[in-house]
A and B are shown apart, each in its own frame.
Chain A
Amino acid sequence: MKERLQIERIETDILIIGGGTAGCYAALTVARNSKHRVLIIEKANIKRSGCLAAGVNAINAYIVKGCTPEDYVDYATKDAAGIVRRDLLLSAARRFNDVTADMEALGLVILKDENGEYVARGNRNIKINGENFKPILAKAVNDEDNIEILNYVNITNLLVNNNQVYGAVGFSIVEEKAYVIKAREVLIATGGAAGLYRPNNPGFSRHKMWYPPFNTGAGYAMGILAGAEMTSFEMRFIALRCKDTIAPTGTIAQGVRAKQVNSRGFVYEDKYGLTTSERVYGTVRENQLGNGPCYLRTSTITKEQDEELLKAYLNMAPSQTLKWIESGKMPSEQDVEIEGTEPYIVGGHTASGYWVDTNRETTISGLYAAGDVAGGCPQKYVTGALAEGEIAAFSILDKWRETVDIDQEKSEQIEKQVNIILGEYEKIRNTENSVFSIEELEEGMQKVMDEYAGGISVHYQYNEKQLKLADEKIDKLLELTNQIAASDMHELLFAYELKDRLLVCKALIAHLKSRKETRWHSFNENLDYPKTDKNYFKYINSKMENGIIKIHFRDIVEEDTYEHTNQSR
């Protein structure tokens, strides 16, 4: 038997789970507007954790001159074929420019013209140097006295009683230590989920993916377990990327106006449409028709443009610059091959995540969500994550209660919950000779999702029979996680990442099964129902009840505000 984990108990006012873009900005907002104590818990280190580790190449959600927040809402609504929350998009879009100006004040470099105006890249984007975006934000957070940061701690469970959140439980990944955190209000900002499906490069470079491989759906999983309502998991996100390096294509497509062409030189993007999902779908179809590989036509650009592209990629995806130089062929000499990634669940690009009200409070009282973990607000990107962090922070401050009553009975029930969670950590730490390793189970999960739930190998398509098999196989893998072993704290993290991903897969399959139509090609390509059906112009939401994921349909919200009707507070 290993020695039991040392237990550290912490009380704070506001607990923020996840120190990425949204979490850091929420903390900063609270610190600037109140004296409340904030605790950020981050499983890595806030300096480079989350989506912006390597940098970000542009601000892609900005209201450029001549446009309005309503224009942004219209664009995002059309791109998602109507399955969005107008109130969430509008409230985020109204803040895009203010949060950008604040980042500039903190040190972010933004390109300006001779009149001092930001230079637009397309209709909703501005040009920046985003290499050090996250270190700039992290420094601002570090400079605030009432923000405490606990790096290298992974939260696994929320403490929820009678639909009210009281805190969370987790463990250190560098010390043999568990944490029990009590808080008045909790913001979850853990990001989306990568690694559910077999990736583009399943071998040595398995983590060379679009989304951070360290965003493993932990926030979704702890919400599902706590009975929070989730929305639109079936609106998967598949990114169109440079082949192999999985580097962004927007810089080439928008920056040097490169068109999508097939191997016969035909510009196919006009044929399939220009929404985010149609751009992926077109590429998939062209490959299926034998017209692959597909490219972004860069062979028409100049040597000077080559140089600028090399630099731009160093600021966000250096592997692409290395690839160009290593191959000896610059983009002006060879078109850039493109491919779709494996599907992800991510609320910053599509609409998957917590079902929140306009204030970003979830269906659990006192639990807020912001950034990629929050649903209903697609294409919010980095500025949207900042905006949602700010909205959630202001909502928390507006609703502030000076005293919180926890009676004896409740606190005993919560303590019981804590002990169950801590017991689970000890069980995994003390298991020996498990039949399968965590890595083997993860590969098993990714293969099931790939083949039966619309992964890369089946061109993102699936039917009901395949989904049923996927569900059965994921159940078997979930059962096997009862026997997993972790020899050290980092392996304990891997164990929870696997458990979280499997639970997210389970919810995802339930959502995919329920949308009996094809609303977004590739993102949800249901071969039994290949057309859009107006009866499914609804949100598909889910909630775990007694261990079972229950689906319910909700009507589209067209108002500018939305309140939960079943709140206890």
Chain B
Amino acid sequence: MSIRINQDKCVGCGKCGEVCPGTLISIENHKAIMKYPKNCWGCVSCVKECSVGAIDFYLGIDIGGMGSVMNVSSTGDILHWKIKKTDGMEIMIDVNRRDSNQY
């Protein structure tokens, strides 16, 4: 379970590292680096914080990951979750922060 930071998209703002509950991300040469990938809890706080969509979340192969990646962007209260599978297929799920869970 961990994240990949796209170095081309990263603007080095450091917000991901600030919010990580394990403080696992550091800034080196103006780019965010996941310093301890095995220590990631998978909370995706960093993915939500990144305003340029540079962080992808994925499942490790030891827990059944097959290479799909997930990220999220937001407009107002709506979180747009995007999952991209290895065959290029993309699935979008919108979740409104004003809507409660039904379960």
Q: Residues of A with Cβ closer than 8 Å to B?
A: 43-45, 47-50, 53-54, 57-58, 109-111, 119, 121, 127-132, 152, 173-174, 201, 203-209, 212-214, 244-245, 251-252, 254-256, 308-312, 314-315, 318-319, 321-323, 325-327, 490
Do A318 and B57 have beta carbons less than 8 Å apart?
yes
Distance of A110 Cα from B39 Cα, bound (Å): 32
Residues of chain B at interface, number, CB under 8 A: 44
Do B95 and A315 have beta carbons less than 8 Å apart?
yes
**Closest residue of chain B to A44, judged by CB?**
B21
Q: Among the listed B42, B68, B85, B101, which residue makes an inter-chain contact with A208, where contact means beta carbons less than 8 Å apart?
A: B42
Chain A residues positioned under 8 Å from B70 (CB to CB): 318, 321-322
Do B60 and A205 have beta carbons less than 8 Å apart?
yes
Which label, helix, strand, loop or mixed, suits the secondary structure of the A interface?
A: loop
Extra contacts, 17 of them, besides A48-B45, A127-B100, A129-B100 (Cβ < 8 A), are A45-B18, A45-B21, A49-B21, A53-B41, A54-B44, A119-B100, A121-B103, A127-B101, A129-B99, A131-B95, A204-B61, A205-B63, A252-B103, A310-B93, A321-B93, A326-B83, A327-B64
Distance of A254 Cα from B43 Cα, bound (Å): 23
Distance of A318 Cα from B22 Cα, bound (Å): 18
Do A319 and B103 have beta carbons less than 8 Å apart?
no
Given A204-B61, A205-B63, A208-B63, residue A54 in contact with residue B100 (CB < 8 A): no
Chain B residues positioned under 8 Å from A309 (CB to CB): 103
Do A312 and B103 have beta carbons less than 8 Å apart?
yes
Chain A residues positioned under 8 Å from B98 (CB to CB): 109, 129
Do B42 and A43 have beta carbons less than 8 Å apart?
no
Do A208 and B79 have beta carbons less than 8 Å apart?
no
Distance of A555 Cα from B39 Cα, bound (Å): 41
Distance in Å from the Cβ of B51 to the closest Cβ of chain A?
Answer: 15
Chain A residues positioned under 8 Å from B44 (CB to CB): 54, 318
Q: Residues of B with Cβ closer than 8 Å to A?
A: 1-2, 18-23, 35, 37-45, 57-66, 68, 70, 79, 81, 83, 85, 91, 93, 95, 97-103
Do B21 and A208 have beta carbons less than 8 Å apart?
no
Do B41 and A214 have beta carbons less than 8 Å apart?
yes
Q: Among the listed B23, B38, B63, which residue makes an inter-chain contact with A244, where contact means beta carbons less than 8 Å apart?
A: B63
Do A128 and B100 have beta carbons less than 8 Å apart?
yes
Which 6 residue pairs across A and B have the least CB separation, nearest first? Answer: A255-B103, A111-B100, A53-B43, A244-B63, A54-B43, A205-B60
**Closest residue of chain B to A214, judged by CB?**
B22
Chain B residues positioned under 8 Å from A173 (CB to CB): 23
Distance of A341 Cα from B45 Cα, bound (Å): 23
Given A201-B63, A244-B64, A314-B79, residue A127 in contact with residue B85 (CB < 8 A): no
**Closest residue of chain A to B42, judged by CB?**
A319
Distance in Å from the Cβ of B67 to the closest Cβ of chain A?
Answer: 8
Do B103 and A127 have beta carbons less than 8 Å apart?
yes
Distance of A71 Cα from B20 Cα, bound (Å): 38
Distance in Å from the Cβ of B22 to the closest Cβ of chain A?
Answer: 5
Given A208-B42, A310-B93, A327-B64, residue A322 in contact with residue B59 (CB < 8 A): yes
Do A214 and B21 have beta carbons less than 8 Å apart?
yes
Do B81 and A129 have beta carbons less than 8 Å apart?
no
Chain B residues positioned under 8 Å from A201 (CB to CB): 1, 60, 62-63
Do A47 and B101 have beta carbons less than 8 Å apart?
no
**Closest residue of chain A to B35, judged by CB?**
A490
Distance of A208 Cα from B59 Cα, bound (Å): 10
8 pairs from A and B in contact (CB 8 Å cutoff): A121-B103, A127-B100, A127-B101, A132-B97, A208-B60, A256-B103, A311-B95, A312-B102
Do B41 and A205 have beta carbons less than 8 Å apart?
no
Chain A residues positioned under 8 Å from B83 (CB to CB): 321-322, 325-326
Chain A residues positioned under 8 Å from B65 (CB to CB): 326
Chain A residues positioned under 8 Å from B39 (CB to CB): 207, 213
Given A111-B101, A244-B64, residue A318 in contact with residue B59 (CB < 8 A): no
Do A314 and B81 have beta carbons less than 8 Å apart?
yes
Chain B residues positioned under 8 Å from A325 (CB to CB): 68, 83, 85, 91
Distance in Å from the Cβ of A256 to the closest Cβ of chain B?
Answer: 6
Q: Among the listed B2, B85, B93, B102, which residue makes an inter-chain contact with A326, where contact means beta carbons less than 8 Å apart?
A: B85
Distance of A127 Cα from B100 Cα, bound (Å): 6
Most chain A CB inside 10 Å of its own CB: which residue of B37, B60, B79:
B60
Distance in Å from the Cβ of B15 to the closest Cβ of chain A?
Answer: 10
Chain A residues positioned under 8 Å from B2 (CB to CB): 204
Do A326 and B63 have beta carbons less than 8 Å apart?
no
Distance of A323 Cα from B58 Cα, bound (Å): 9
Do A322 and B57 have beta carbons less than 8 Å apart?
yes
Q: Among the listed A213, A254, A318, which residue makes an inter-chain contact with B103, where contact means beta carbons less than 8 Å apart?
A: A254
Distance in Å from the Cβ of A453 to the closest Cβ of chain B?
Answer: 24
Distance in Å from the Cβ of A193 to the closest Cβ of chain B?
Answer: 15
Chain B residues positioned under 8 Å from A121 (CB to CB): 103
Distance of A174 Cα from B46 Cα, bound (Å): 18
